[in-house]
Amino acid sequence: MNKGTFFCIDAHTCGNPVRLVTSGHPVLEGETMGDKRLHFMREFDWIRQSLMFEPRGHDMMSGSFLYPPCSDNADASILFIETSGCLPMCGHGTIGTITAALQAGLLKPRVPGKLVIDVPAGQIRVEYQMTGDKVDWVKIFNVPAYLAHKDIEIDVPELGRITLDIAYGGNFYAIIEPQPNFPGIDQWTPGEILKYSPLVREIAGKAVECVHVEDPKVRGLSHVLWSGKPKTPGSSVANAVFYGDKAIDRSPCGTGTSARMAQLHARGRLQPGERFVHESIIGSQFVGTIEEVTEIGGVTAIRPSIQGWAKVTGYNQILVDDDDPYVNGFQLV
């Protein structure tokens, strides 16, 4: 039986939704959040579907559960849920989760202003600033990011031949910069992004294998990042990230920003310590920095940081009952 009452704090990070689920946590098996993620996907994915898809959610819905830490040095763990699945890491989701949890008193840091969080992709550090009872900003020191594949050429129906890179920043991203058959997102409509992104993801995902160099549980090309000229003062470059079946990230995308910085560094266009301001499709910004260059699995990688903000929009009590024919939600594709 799929039944339960879930209390949630709804928020958005730079425009993209985050639903922090504060009750109904399933007991998950495993020593790490990576193991617990796999258990959730096997046994409890109905919770994700019920809370993320219509009629209780929508195509862009993203959420999380806050769990006790898996590691002795951590303050907490986060399990990410969204319409595209149960992600290894989510940058905007972390910023929204930390903001909502701190403001609600659900998270008590060992050191004020600093947190260590276990996530399925590994462990991250977090810094934040509060004024009174409000969180001003959250800065994530993300898992290592790296360029996985370079100069992949694919033929996309109706679009033509394009060249892309694939980088990892917590999830795998196909990164498409302006070129003859793609003028840039500043000259495209959201409809064009939604039309071509699933094709790019499918074709590129078949052209090369995307498996993390150290963790084979993390695999598959899940996101497509289109680049272009920014419209907000101070931005380095703009982007639009496609995920799920028909979602465009309204935020600049935290793991996408990490992947983009890894790609730019591998191409010699971004150096450690340089300020990288990534703009979203709605003009909101994340500030990224390459904190250091490292190596994982024999591959050169970066340790990225991403800073952004989130706002709580409301408190929600959601009922899930299997006498509802749409208990597991639905999606119109």
Rounded Cα distance, 280 and 138, in Å:
17
- Contact, 285 vs 235, CB < 8 A? yes
**What confidence tens digit (pLDDT) does each residue in 29-72 have?**
999 999 999 999 999 999 999 999 999 999 999 999 999 999 99
**Number of other CB atoms surrounding residue 153 within 10 Å:** 10
**What confidence tens digit (pLDDT) does each residue in 147-186 have?**
999 999 999 999 999 999 999 999 999 999 999 999 999 9
Q: Judge whether residue 231 has pLDDT over 90.
A: yes
Residues carrying an active site annotation = 90, 253
Rounded to 5 degrees, φ, ψ at 101 are: -70, -40
Q: Judge whether residue 1 has pLDDT over 70.
A: no
Residue 331 — very low, low, confident or very high, per pLDDT cuts 50/70/90? confident
**What confidence tens digit (pLDDT) does each residue in 123-143 have?**
999 999 999 999 999 999 999
pTM: 0.94
**What confidence tens digit (pLDDT) does each residue in 189-220 have?**
999 999 999 999 999 999 999 999 999 989 99
Averaged over 323-332, what is the pLDDT? Answer: 91
